[in-house]
Amino acid sequence: MEKDVRQAEATGAPKAAAPSAAAGAPDYPLLARSLASLAEGEPHWLPTLANASALLWERLPRLNWAGFYLIDDRGDLLLGPFQGSLACVRIKLGSGVCGTAAAEDRTLRVPDVHRFAGHIACDAASNSEIVVPLHDGTGAVVGVLDLDSPILDRFSPEDQAGLELFCRTLERCCRLSSLPRA
């Protein structure tokens, strides 16, 4: 019962109540703590990633997609848990924003996806994107967090730092090493 109360507190208000840009930057340390609370006692990656995408979808304004791509046994990024519009199912490493971020093991913050060489338009409404690599316990890239927005230049350096904190928390909360390897 106590865990159910913590989970209800962690998820908070529906997306419609998310703060606007004028209200200030999201509280990323609070989001990271909420994620840790949601994952407590459940180290499996699937429910943790599902709740992580829902948490970001509910708490971050002006998104049209929030979710994960995970490296599968073929060495591609395969669609994982997400919230938002329909999505591309499979992305080659090195292709598009997600594949490039995974292949280069670095966060990519793209203010205008239409100017990104090789951008894959899974949703024509997306105008900006941020992708953060995810690592297993050995430091190997196992997937990415991908956020899309219909707003040009939606993601700031503060969003990048906060989402990187969120992903490091996620890496500590669940067994990403149990994901299939190429």
Mean pLDDT by 10 residues, the chain (182 residues): 35 37 75 95 92 97 97 94 95 96 98 91 90 95 97 97 97 82 56
Residue 83 lies in a domain: yes
Q: Are 134 and 164 in contact (CB under 8 A)?
A: no
Predicted pLDDT of residue 159: 97
* Non-local CB neighbours of 7 within 8 Å, separated by 6+ positions: 37, 38
Q: Are 107 and 132 in contact (CB under 8 A)?
A: yes
Predicted pLDDT of residue 122: 83
Residue 88 lies in a domain: yes
Residue 18 lies in a domain: no
Predicted pLDDT of residue 124: 85
CATH number at residue 44: 3.30.450.40
Nearest to 50 by CA among 62, 61, 39: 39
Instruction: Compute the distance between CA of residue 31 and CA of residue 52 in angstroms, rounded to an integer.
Output: 9
Residue 20 lies in a domain: no
Amino acid identity of 45? W
Q: Are 131 and 117 in contact (CB under 8 A)?
A: no
Residue 182 lies in a domain: no
Q: Is 76 helix (H, G, I), strand (E, B) or coil?
A: coil
Predicted pLDDT of residue 121: 82
Predicted pLDDT of residue 177: 79
Q: Is 33 helix (H, G, I), strand (E, B) or coil?
A: helix
Q: How far is CA 92 from CA 33, 152, 175, in A?
A: 32, 25, 24
Q: Which domain holds residue 143?
A: 2-13+25-177
Residue 19 lies in a domain: no
pTM for the model stands at 0.85
Residue 65 lies in a domain: yes
Per the listing, tokens 């948490």 go with 55
- How many domains in the chain? 1
